Amino acid sequence: MAPTKPIVEHTVDRTPEYEKFLEELRDFHEKRGTHLDPEPKMGNLSVDLYKLFNYIVQNGGYDKVSDEKLMWRKMCEGLGLMRHNAPADAYTLKQIFYKNLAAFEIKKIHNKEPPPPEILEFTTAKGGSLLTRTLENFVAKGRNDREDSEDGSTPGRERPVAETPASGRASRGLREAPAPRVIFHPDTNSSRQTRHASGAQQIGTPSSTSHSHNNSAMAQNPSQSNPSRNGAYIFNPPGYDTNNPIVQGFAPQPVQQMPLRIVDTPSSNPELFARKQRLLKQPPTVVSNPGMIVRACLPQGALDGPNIYERCLLSLRSGIPSEQAFGTHHLLKISHERGDKYKFSQFCGLAEGLTELALSIGGMIYHVNWTISNDPDSDNTDIGELDGLEGTPDILERIAQLKRRKDVDDNILPAEFRDQLTLVLESTQTIRNMVNMPDNAYFMSEYPPVRDLLCILLNLPELESVVELKHLALEIAESILPYLVLRSDDPLYQSLLAKLESDDRGVILTALKALNKIALNHPIETNRLGNVPPSVLQRIMDWLLLNDEDLLDITTDFLYQYTAVVENLDTMLKHIKMEHLVTHLVRLLSHGAKRSTRELIVSEARLAYDPPNETVVPTPKDLLEKLLAIEEPERCYAWIRCFFEEDPDSNITQLAIWQAYNTEFLEPLKRKGRSMISAPEFIKSITSVYESAGAQIVHEQGPGGQSQQKYLIRGIRPRRYPISPDGRGYFQCQLPAPPGKPPAAKCGAWNLTAEKMWDHIVAEHLGDGVSRTEDGKLVNKEGMHSCAWNHCQKFPQPTKMFLVQYMAHLKTHLRSEEIRHAAKPSEISPLAPLPPPPSPSSASATKSRGGSYPKSRVVKPAKTVTITIEETASARDERNPNAPPQAAGVPLSAVLILRNIAQYVPRTEAEAELRKKGGVEGWNEILFRPVMGRLWDVFTENRLLTPHLAGLFGLLEQKQQVRRFTVEE
């Protein structure tokens, strides 16, 4: 089967908001004088009233949800409360909200006074219109309001068309609640009426036709049919008589006129009694509906009759086909809509009646009438007599004797056969619906004739008309088998095994699921699954090769239980190739797996300089002005960030870094009359900026073998270029130095943007070669220009060109440098290309100005490890939702089967025979050695299966050590 759609799990979350809501709700019900159920039950689930209230209000409130068809079912689904019976769940949820939250919603949400409890909480939840309900417009429905036919005859099989109420929903007569309790008010207003007054109030003598009306006519006008019920209904919930405000505030009413009910007598209604006498004199006749005469002979209101449940039961046991049709039709409807509350234990004879009606299939197919005998002294010699006390152990032999069957043609079915088959189908389907409830399933498991019925249905001949009966029998067996312990020779167990030889996929799936549930509620030793035919074992192994998710899941579950018994493993070793089975199971360890590769970084990639460099680049003029405007120690923090970066493998002497800082800021601060930071505070500031930086004293051996102390700061190194406080990098001018400097040296001026670098080039390098207009713009005149920017080969010699052409070429260098230095250092790739090292002349010129370039760069790549990950099906533990996911599905079943084989194979007789023949390896060695490599692969790649495979390896290693010890002895 396809996997069911996952639903939301409903739980009670006891949050502070939940507790506050319940406290407010308790106060409301206490003031109102009504009862509050703080955690009402829907089956085994507790309903969270806080979630329920918010969810219903979000969907428009009680009235709106009640007006829309099937809306309460959607509410159940949204709250995660939907179980196996949608109509019953919807009505239960509606009843819970109606009793506990409806009045609270009117007061809290709509700011209106709710109706009195007499017409709200104390009445049924059928219908809506709570906001407009008052004492005047509300009419409570009593017992006589139930639906019935007008002529008193048995209803037909066709579903009656119910009148649609104003809300637009179809009425369901089976859901009407019983009549509420009525507080008795004595009528003591006036004295006894006079004869004349009482006679004036009598109603005329009814005609003979008026007494033929049934209960439906009485329900339409209860005041006419029963004058004693004309008084207003006052309701009170059971068990709360002393708490009801009406009882507490009761005051004696003034004496009122007491209405009297008309009683038919021979004097007042002679026609009725004359008709009774005529009927008594008539000979007895068979009628289709005996209830017609009873209701016609009795006055209105004298007999209400049994409820629908008892009526169906009596119809089922009556033996009258029309009554049985009525009973099975409505029982099927009840079992579908009220299956969670309809129990066999509450209706004596219901299970027996359904079973006996289903057994009538024997007389339809064969020349036999199956009957149930409860006589303990019966010898059960009759082939059609079933033992109702202990079950019939030879039921399969009796079925085998029924070789001669009736002539049944699937293409042409007589009307009588079709009607009887419908009764059998409806009775069997009713049993199937009811055993879905655990209490009913346990009840039927204790009723032996049900097992005989299942054996008869499962062994029916291959006819299309009985296919549905066989599927229903399998589903019934699936529900009751968890409570049964079947031996290997049990007829029901043998019938289920026979269904595994079928070619119908649905039959195979249901039969396997049923076999997997034998004695599910008992210890595992009781489910031994013995005497499985070798042909079935071979078919099961063949099913493992199919690409069928449902069949694989059910088959592996069966094998897990089957291989847990040593005798079963002996059977498998003798009749099938266990080596092939183990190979297929190892293959299923990766069933539905998703493989992926990941790289785990052992160590990050980083840059280092060799040899270490202690020279700090000079400070650009604009950056120096910004730093001078900052006070200490912020200036020290900013300078360190702009000129140093973290490097765990580098260090710099404290003297070198202090001298670099002192050179830049001592004279400018003196000119401004400001003081500098002291050397100890400066060293502390460095360790405050970078966590990896720290002052350290190193002892080195100096000249003459004397030990010298060297004061270092580890964890930082000078940057290759300074950065601004906002993280943008400076870049240097690579054109030849202006006049007055060594001719081979580069200019080396630091600038932050391409525009500022172009202004520098125009002012320092072009000099008199350009002229400006009155408004300061450059004149585009022709001249001799060359480009020596960082060894550029575009214009190595002076070339005649316009200034615009030279500017466009030079800006390509500037823009690339700006882009490369604009990113923050943390965003620059360690493998990004660096400019070529400066020439010796340039380096010497830089050193003459106090700057320096690193000699070389060493790239330390990241150390990574590539691993393969295999992910299979997983599920969370329902008992601990916060726990990590666990292995599930076919892979889990496969590894558990392998573990059973490794654990129990050494105990089999085949293992002992192998040892006697000189096979010292043992079956575990034969089965698992060829697949051990793949098992280790799964162990290393599948994290979810690792614990289970570790247990398997432990079993294999343990058996191997035992074998080695035995061989050495």
pLDDT on residue 820: 67
pLDDT band, very low/low/confident/very high, at 148 (cuts 50, 70, 90): very low
Q: What is the pLDDT of residue 957?
A: 84
Q: What pLDDT sits at residue 848?
A: 36
Residue 74 has a pLDDT of 87
Instruction: List helix spans (H) across 672-790.
Output: 679-689, 754-761
Confidence band (pLDDT; 50, 70, 90) for 470?
A: very high
pLDDT digits (tens, 9 = 90+) for 245-287: 544 555 555 656 666 777 788 888 888 888 777 777 766 544 4
Q: Tell me the CA end-to-end span of the chain in Å, nearest whole number.
A: 54
Spacing of C-alpha 204 from chain mean position:
68
Residue pLDDT, tens place only, 312-330: 889 988 889 999 999 999 9
Model pLDDT, residue 113: 86
Q: Is 130 helix (H, G, I), strand (E, B) or coil?
A: coil
Per-residue confidence (pLDDT) for residue 538, from 0 to 100: 93
CB neighbourhood size of 878 (10 A): 7
Is residue 466 a contact partner of residue 428, using CB atoms and an 8 Å limit? Answer: no
Encoding tokens for residue 388?
């109702």
Higher pLDDT among residues 422 and 339, named by residue: 422
pLDDT at 213 over 50: no
| pLDDT in the model for residue 891 | 94
CA–CA gap between residue 686 and residue 664 (Å, rounded): 17
Note the pLDDT tens digit of each residue in 48-82.
888 889 999 988 888 888 888 888 888 888 888 87
Packing angle, helices 889-904 and 549-562, rounded to 10: 20
Give yes or no for residue 18 having a pLDDT over 70. yes
Average pLDDT score over residue span 36-47: 85
- Contact predicate 115/62, CB 8 Å: no
Q: Say if CB 872 and CB 925 are below 8 A apart.
A: no
In the chain, the percentage of residues whose pLDDT exceeds 70 is 75
Over residues 344-351, the mean pLDDT reads 89
The CA distance from 474 to 455, in Å, is 10
Contact between 452 and 361 (Cβ < 8 Å): no
pLDDT at res. 833:
37
The confidence score (pLDDT) of residue 611 equals 52
CA distance 843 to 895: 70
Q: Copy the structure tokens of residue 854.
A: 């690193």
Residue 46 pLDDT level (bands cut at 50, 70, 90): confident
Detail the DSSP E strand segments found in 657-789. Answer: 694-701, 707-718, 731-732, 750-751, 782-785
pLDDT band at 559 (very low <50, low <70, confident <90, very high): very high
User: pLDDT grade, residue 917 (50/70/90)?
Assistant: confident
Residues 6+ apart with CB under 8 A from 284: none
CA 277 to chain centre: 70
Alpha-carbon distance of 100 to 36, in angstroms, equals: 6
The whole-number pLDDT of residue 302 equals 44
From 725, 757, 712, select the one nearest 643 (Cα to Cα): 725
Q: What is the dihedral of CA 757, 762, 767, 769, to 10 degrees?
A: 140
DSSP-assigned letters across all residues of 809-830: HHHHHHHHHHHHHHS-GGGS-T
Instruction: Place 127 in a pLDDT band, splitting at 50, 70 and 90.
Output: low
pLDDT band at 712 (very low <50, low <70, confident <90, very high): confident
Phi and psi angles of residue 362, each rounded to the nearest 5 degrees, phi first: -65, -45
pLDDT at 901 over 90: yes
* Rounded CA separation 603/860 (Å): 10
> Which of the four pLDDT bands, split at 50, 70 and 90, describes residue 718?
confident
pLDDT value at position 556? 93
Rounded mean pLDDT, 146-160: 42
Per-residue model confidence as pLDDT tens digits over 219-230? 334 333 343 333
Q: Which amino acid is at 571?
A: T
Pairing of strands 606-609, 799-802: unpaired
**Tokens 């309701």 — which residue?**
235
| Strands 750-751 and 731-732, sheet pairing | antiparallel
What is the bridge-based pairing of β-strands 41-42 and 644-653? unpaired
Residue (of 456, 445, 320, 317) closest to 386 by Cα position? 456
Q: Has residue 609 got a pLDDT over 60?
A: no
Structure tokens at 695: 């002052």
Q: Is the pLDDT of residue 195 over 50?
A: no
**How much is the average pLDDT of 399-416?**
84
Averaged pLDDT for residues 909-921: 80
Find residue 696's DSSP bridge partners: 712
> How would residue 481 be classed by pLDDT, with cut points 50, 70 and 90?
very high
**Alpha-carbon gap, residue 905 to 55, rounded angstroms:** 57
Q: Apex CA 314: angle with CA 308 and CA 317, to 5°?
A: 140
The CATH code for residues 16-138 is 1.10.150.60
Distance CA 110, CA 696 (A): 75
Q: Do domains 16-138 and 623-718 have the same CATH topology?
A: no
Q: Are strands 799-802 and 782-785 parallel, antiparallel or unpaired?
A: antiparallel
Q: What is the mean pLDDT of residues 442-451?
A: 92
Specify the DSSP element, H or E, that contains 535. Answer: helix 534-543
Cα–Cα dist 593/595, whole Å: 6
Domain ranges of the chain: 16-138, 309-483, 623-718, 731-823
Q: Do residues 832 and 566 touch, judged by C-beta distance below 8 A?
A: no
Cα–Cα nearest to 364, from 418, 429, 431:
418
Q: What is the mean pLDDT of the chain?
A: 76
How far is CA 98 from each of CA 53, 130, 136, 747, rounded to the nearest angstrom?
A: 11, 10, 20, 89
Classify residue 320 by burial, with Cβ atoms within 10 Å: 0-12, 13-18, 19+.
Answer: middle
CA distances from 649 to 603, 696, 713, 824 (A): 14, 14, 11, 21
Encode burial over 422-448: b for 16+ CB neighbours within 10 A, e otherwise: ebbbbbbbbbbbbbbbeebbbbbbebb
d(CA 450, CA 516): 19
| CATH class, range 623-718 | mainly alpha
Band the pLDDT of 690: cuts 50, 70, 90: confident
* pLDDT tens-digit map of 796-847: 778 888 878 878 887 887 777 777 666 444 433 333 333 444 444 443 433 3
DSSP structural state of residue 766:
I
Higher pLDDT, 818 or 939: 939
Please tell me the least confidently modeled range out of 2-16, 184-198, 823-837, 889-903.
823-837
pLDDT of residue 234: 36
Q: Which strand (E) or helix (H) includes residue 16?
A: helix 16-32
Confidence of residue 769 (pLDDT cuts 50, 70, 90): low
Give CA separation, 92 vs 215, 366, 524, 614, in Å. 28, 45, 37, 82
Q: Which residue has the higher pLDDT, 815 or 19?
A: 19
CB 166 within 8 A of CB 66: no
What DSSP string describes 624-669? HHHHHTSPTTHHHHHHHHHHEEEEEEEEEEHHHHHHHHHHHHHHHH
Task: Write the CB contacts of 12 (distance below 8 Å, at least 6 apart in sequence).
Answer: 18, 39, 46, 47, 48
3-class secondary structure, 121: coil
Query: What's the distance, CA 238 to chain centroid?
Result: 39
Per the CB < 8 A criterion, the answer to whether 869 and 593 are in contact is no
Q: Calculate the CA 242 to chain-centre distance.
A: 46
The pLDDT-based confidence of 173 (bands split at 50, 70, 90) is: very low
Q: Which of the four pLDDT bands, split at 50, 70 and 90, describes residue 423? A: very high
Which carries the bigger pLDDT value, residue 197 or residue 735?
735
Greatest mean pLDDT among 212-216, 377-381, 710-714: 710-714
Measured CA to CA, the distance from residue 627 to residue 669 in angstroms comes to: 11
More confident residue, 687 or 29: 29
Closest by CA to 385, choosing from 352, 359, 423, is 359
Instruction: Give mean pLDDT, residues 941-967.
Output: 75
Predicted TM-score of the model (pTM): 0.51
